[in-house]
Structure 1
């Protein structure tokens, strides 16, 4: 059964895993393969395979990532929840042959759909980046 507490823990765990670039095998239990749809600013992906392609590109592009959740409000309806998430994302990126890396700092406004997984813990079925707003002084993507 989904609860506000289990959803808050899921959100914190999700961003921790992204920050430290865990192996994909540690991300899979958080995702619903057959139903998964992720709408990122640059691409929409489906299922484990689509997500893994996106994830592998991201962990090879960005480093020193820090995700700070400023909002995670869930509307729970039985075994599903719609979650409004706002996260401040900071990351460094280096593009060869530039002499130094650049720092990105932006707010991402997102809508997630979670369902109760087999163990009753949340799993992600839909992840949509609704808006991506660079903060003042941020490098561009």
Structure 2
């Protein structure tokens, strides 16, 4: 099942969550589904920014560490310029509430896409299984991602050599 499937076991969308409710596993699973579905569709960056907290943001993503909405927008623009036909299949989600307003999330995601590296005449298929760790906080009545660390990755059989799927060292992030 992929993140955008209506029958996805991740959970319902995060729409219409009451503003005074504490964080719940259902709401966090909705955030997970909304996040990966937006990435797969290459939604406008504004859609993704709505799923990120405005304070304390720290995302250790492939090729960059992001600490602001502006940083994320730059990373996202670079990403969608190189990768297409993306499919994030969320294989495993573990939600651990740590307070009424916070939760830790462990994810295992199979990511597949086509990748083009200029000036190549052709794109190549890339498939990797990655682990992610998120810290999620309630903000504005819904859960939002405060931190995200994309961890280890394992290429799928037959995959082209994937791009770096771990964050760059702080000193290399510009």
Q: Give the TM-score category using the shorter length.
A: over 0.9
Q: Would you tell me which structure has more strand in proportion to its own residues?
A: 1
**SS of residue paired to 2:146:** strand
What corresponds to 1:97 in structure 2? 119
The unaligned stretches of length 5 or more in structure 2 are 1-21, 164-174
Which consecutive segments of 4 or more residues in structure 1 shift more than 3 A?
Answer: none
Distance 1:41 1:20 in 2: 19
RMSD (Å) for aligned C-alpha atoms: 1.0
| Deviation sequence 1:60-105 (CA, Å, 0-9, x none) | 1100000000011110022100000110000101123323110000
The unaligned stretches of length 5 or more in structure 1 are none
TM-score w.r.t. length of structure 2: 0.77
Distance 1:98 1:56 in 2: 20
Distance 1:59 1:27 in 2: 13
Q: 1:1-141 to 2 correspondence within 5 Å? A: 1-77=22-98, 78-119=100-141, 121-140=142-161, 141=163
Pairs aligned (count): 140
Distance 2:40 2:66 in 1: 20
- Offset of 1:131 from its aligned partner? 0.9
TM-score w.r.t. length of structure 1: 0.95
| Deviation sequence 1:29-64 (CA, Å, 0-9, x none) | 111122111102322111101111111110111000
Distance 1:27 1:98 in 2: 30
Distance 1:73 1:56 in 2: 29
Distance 1:38 1:136 in 2: 28
